[in-house]
Amino acid sequence: MNAIISASELASDLTGSNPPVVLDVRWQLSVAKAAGEPPFDGRAAYAAGHIPGAVFVDLDRELASAPGARGRHPLPEVADFGAAMRRAGVSAGTPVIVYDGGQGWAAARAWWMLRWTGHPDVRVLDGGLPSWEGPLETAEPTPAEGDFVPRPGAVELLDADGAAALARSGILFDARAGERYRGEVEPIDRVGGHIPGAVSAPTTENVAADGRFLPAEELHARFKALGVSDDTPVGVYCGSGVSGAHEVLALAVAGIPAALYVGSWSEWSSDPSRPVAVGPDPQ
């Protein structure tokens, strides 16, 4: 099953015999508070217009727990996540389509969470809401309660020690911008740099100018050039397990399974005992 879906395919599926549950996960990483600007309000954006029937999902409250020692977007309690998905109408036997405002990061986090907890049929709208050419609605739906029961472990999850080991034994991709990987700037976390041995692979290079993923063969060639071979175990991290999920999604489009280190740099860099590498060299 493809991990992404086009807007035209979604429009067709919504009129089919088994229409998908659609989740709107609009969210933005905001550093605007330092400048006194209000943070992005995904729920307000949803209320102003969303794909008909879509249910809003709050990334910070339903796809993560409170920031702390485990990072800025640690995993939520599994029971809480399951309850949120059932409230949104998610059932095990119903396809799920997830979209966001076009960046793809938040939608990928929801996709990864559902895949990790065992949902068999979940895809991301390629290009997000900007790719949708159909009507929008402002009414908030009241879906029937779903029956999805999360069972974690369907895809691989890394912790800090696992990420460190994979950087030595396989390929660990750093999905953040290159300047953060090199330690030249760090606008959010305690210190700049990267996990020793990690390879820089900014997630922004997985998509075209319109936010849609590059063709699968181009993505496969990109990751192969970065060191992935048929038998290479692959992992990904980012700042807090959001853009890293987008890289895991890109790897899935390319036909390459990959694990996600959800704690990512926000967890790693908060522990002074963890080594930090700087500069363009992985080591």
- List active site positions: 238
Query: 262: which DSSP letter?
Result: S
Tokens of 215: 């063709």
Angle between the N-to-C axes of helices 216-225 and 243-253, in degrees from 0 to 180, rounded to the nearest 10: 110
Tokens of 25: 């996960």
In this structure, the number of other CB atoms found within 10 A of the CB of residue 7 comes to 20
Query: Looking at the DSSP assignment, which residues form a beta bridge with residue 33?
Result: none
Query: Looking at the DSSP assignment, which residues form a beta bridge with residue 122?
Result: 96
In this structure, the number of other CB atoms found within 10 A of the CB of residue 196 comes to 16
In this structure, the number of other CB atoms found within 10 A of the CB of residue 94 comes to 16
Tokens of 180: 């953060």
Q: In sequence order, what are the residues at sequence separation of 6 or more whose Cβ sits closer than 8 angstroms to the Cβ of residue 279?
A: 182, 183
Question: Token pair 């970065």 is at which residue?
Answer: 226
Helix (H, G, I), strand (E, B) or coil at 21: strand
- Written as one letter, the residue type at 279 is G
Using CA atoms, how far residue 107 sits from 32, 191, 268, 277, in Å, is: 22, 27, 24, 30
Q: Are 114 and 87 in contact (CB under 8 A)?
A: no
Distance CA 90, CA 238 (A): 28
Distance, C-alpha 191 to centroid of its chain: 23
